[in-house]
Structure 1
């Protein structure tokens, strides 16, 4: 027990020293010039998500600010951090010529899972929908990143677009076919992809290029080949 107490005390000291250094660095970095900082509020499900943008400031010889656009860094800071990475983002925006956006997502325990994920994803969608207004050109590149808990959120929200929201429109058709029993969806006779492919005869699969289920046809062919079945797939 004494060892545990000693370890926790030592860990607390290290944590306080580290955050003190981070705060000191943030004060120094926050003096970076050449960046336009604005605060925004994103409305999602009747609550506001604070958001801050860091846009590089470019002035012409005439003293005017041209309408230049930049790549995007969408940043999610660590959920347990005392620092919101403000100083770091100021420096990144200036040094790398990139628009940075930071979202102040809700945190546990006051707001348990999946509040943080929902806020982070809503923030990213807002940024992409308002790219022009924050001097972002998505064709120049999009980076999504984070620190600690923010890194975990990054891994989660970057997988969301693999399953776009509009796919939910097709759920009614699938539910009707399943007869109201979701367990039927795991029946190999409902989806041949769940079957055993050992010993099946040779197969020829022709996929329509514009068919929404095209990729399932590719996967079916791949699974057949992996099982040693002679298979040809055309599009």
Structure 2
């Protein structure tokens, strides 16, 4: 019996919403990755875009530009957004560098594109969204290295992006993207490249923080959710194990399992969103605590009775609306330095 059992009691409004959503077969496949990706795009990405479309700001209020940037053994696309306030052509803005979710094997620029356009205008923030290469064709650490190269490119090209990193330099992502953001925060902390232009905040939505086979023994009694909760219509431990297998990272490598870094001291403030019936729940809660114990400013929001990524499918529910508003509040908190 866990003192977190209450978090797994289903949210009745979200449960009712599921009755009206035609979920496809979500049994993961480690073999037919093309079909699995097509299914993900048709269901998850298309739904997220449909939900976000009514909130798109006028095209006159921002600009969009894709760039091909060099990475190891190839190139990737970054999509760059910048506000265009009337009469302020030379204005500069804080920067948000974003890594999408999808278990390191699904997703792309389109996944969060419309949401990020709204964020760009509402918060007057430049945004770079990176299309890192996906596993299993490009296993660990390719996607991570692609994202990190994109982050360095954005840093070097801040003026091109109408960004001023002294006004704020945030990195963020959802799920596997949250994992990449957490790892990149650690990488950048000790990288001389970022001297004088350090990351100032982390946005970690439902992040992956530790491979279940590498859970530290001393915390195992509180790391129960991977095996005890999950929604087959969204994400279960089985789905996550397939993603880990495709990703191909050593379980104990902190660049796969950032919870395992020996220290988190000196990291920028972190905002985390965690769902009650998400298998990743307990590791994310522990990660937030370890950050806090190492002196990192944190802001945590937990959503009882809902699963991993629920907000992208049941957007009209109170819990999903709170999730969306909390994201905005968390972004604002980070732009204020975690004050």
Q: TM-score range by the shorter chain?
A: 0.5 to 0.7
Partner of 2:63: 36
SS at match of 1:117: helix
Separation in 2, partners of 1:131, 1:17: 35
Q: Computing the radius of gyration over CA atoms, which structure comes out larger, 1 or 2?
A: 1
Confirm or deny: 8 A CA contact 1:32 1:90 kept in the other structure: no
Structure 1 position 30, deviation (Å)? 4.2
Contact 1:32 1:91 in 2 (8 A): no
Match of 2:49 in 1: 23
Name the count of aligned residue pairs.
154
Distance 2:46 2:75 in 1: 30
1:29–1:90 CA contact under 8 A, matched in 2: no
Residue deviations 1:8-63 (CA, integer Å, cap 9, x gap): x87639x7765543131243344543010001011122411100110000122xxx
User: Among 87, 91, 108, which residue is 1:68 paired with?
Assistant: 91
**When the two structures are superposed, what TM-score results if normalisation uses the length of structure 2?**
0.42
In the alignment, the residues of structure 2 paired with residue 141 and residue 28 of structure 1 have an alpha-carbon distance, to the nearest angstrom, of: 28
5+ long unaligned stretches in structure 2:
1-22, 28-39, 194-339
Is the CA contact (8 Å cut-off) linking 1:30 and 1:86 kept in structure 2?
A: no
| SS state at 1:133 partner | coil
1:122-133 to 2 correspondence within 5 Å? 122-133=149-160
**In 2: Cα distance, 1:85 partner to 1:32 partner:** 17
Contact 1:26 1:86 in 2 (8 A): no
Q: Tell me if structure 2 keeps the 8 A contact 1:25–1:87.
A: no
- Specify whether residues 106 and 32 from structure 1 end up closer, same or farther in structure 2 by C-alpha distance, changes over 3 A only: same
1:52 corresponds in structure 2 to 79
Over the aligned positions, Cα root-mean-square deviation in angstroms equals 2.5
Within 5 A, what are the aligned runs for 1:178-197? none
TM, length-normalised to structure 1: 0.59
